[in-house]
Every structure is written in structure tokens, then in C-alpha cells.
Amino acid sequence: MLKAICKNVVWMAIPLSLALGCASSHTETQASYGQAATLTPTSGEPEQRIYSTVDPGTVNTSEDIDAPPAGANAQNWQVAEAIREKMTQDKSLAPFGSSLIAEVGKDNTVTLKGRVSSSSEKERVRDTIANVPGVNGVNDDALGIGRSTDKGTINMK
């Protein structure tokens, strides 16, 4: 029993003596405040600013939020926005919004893609989109008829 106690004391004394030795060799230094060291550039390349030079307080926030994104045709964008508004405002078309895609072409011809549950719904969607101002024609060849099942297939009627 005495042998076990001595063994435990030795195993506890080794880490304790190492910790005390490290703590006693550490000398305290007082912090000094003064001029910061000057850093020199590590590259000869000119400095490049990645932030905007416009003051955030001077940015005009009253800009038109419906403006077309860069690279988009303004006329096509207006037609697409009118279609989006029509599909979200018309309660009879609202359920189809998530399964229908309306692409506006260069000549303002709209291509409908997706699926509807019946041929009468397909015709109603086509006619509604055709009556949106600015639409020159509607191509509904890619608009399928049928309902999806839980396995991702379409039951055709």
C-alpha cells in the first residue's frame, strides 16, 4: 500500500514541478505605449482599392427597383415583369406559379414550360399570358399536361 502511495506522489510531483519551473522562469514585463512600428510594403505593386469610393450617405436609394439588371433588354424585362405580376395577382393562376416557367424571347414571344393538370388549364394559361401587354406570341409546346406523383413521374390524362 505504501508503495502505491509513493508511486502516486511521484506521478503528481513531476507535472507540478514542471509547471512551477515554467512559471518561475517567466519574467514579467511592463507594457510600453509609444509610436507603432512602421510597416513597409512587401510588394512593389501599386495599391488597389476594392471598396467603393462613393460615400454610402450620398447613394440615391430612390432608384427604380424594377429596373432591368445589367445586360438585360429593358423591353423584355418589362414584359417579364408584367407576366410575373399577372401570375401572382390572378388567384386562378397562382397555384401554377411554382410549376410554370415563362421565358421572354428577343421578339417578345413567350415560351411556356412546366406542367398543368389539364388541357383546359393549359389553354387558360396560354390565353392569359397572350393578353399581357407587350407579348407578341405564346409558344406552349414545352408545357406538359399531367400531375406529378410522389415518385417524380407524371400521370398523363
Residue 153 C-alpha cell reads as 413521374
Residue 39 · residue 33 · CB < 8 Å: no
Residue 83 · residue 103 · CB < 8 Å: no
In a domain, 12, yes or no: no
Overall number of domains in the chain: 1
- In three-state secondary structure terms, 144 is strand
In a domain, 89, yes or no: yes
Residue 135 · residue 79 · CB < 8 Å: yes
Residue 146 · residue 133 · CB < 8 Å: no
Lowest mean pLDDT among 9-13, 103-107, 111-115: 9-13
In a domain, 128, yes or no: yes
For residue range 79-89, list pLDDT tens digits in order: 888 888 888 88
For residue range 19-71, list pLDDT tens digits in order: 766 555 556 666 667 777 776 767 677 766 566 666 666 655 555 666 777 77
In a domain, 124, yes or no: yes
In a domain, 96, yes or no: yes
Run of H or E including 109: strand 109-116
In a domain, 46, yes or no: no
Domain span at residue 137 reads 74-147
Output 14 or 18, whichever has higher pLDDT. Answer: 14
pTM, to two decimals: 0.51
For range 89-99, the mean pLDDT: 66
User: What is the Cα–Cα distance from 20 to 31, expressed in whole angstroms?
Assistant: 24
Per-residue confidence (pLDDT) for residue 57, from 0 to 100:
61
Per-residue confidence (pLDDT) for residue 54, from 0 to 100:
63
Per-residue confidence (pLDDT) for residue 78, from 0 to 100:
87
Per-residue confidence (pLDDT) for residue 95, from 0 to 100:
63
In a domain, 123, yes or no: yes
Report the CATH number at residue 100: 3.30.1340.30
In a domain, 85, yes or no: yes
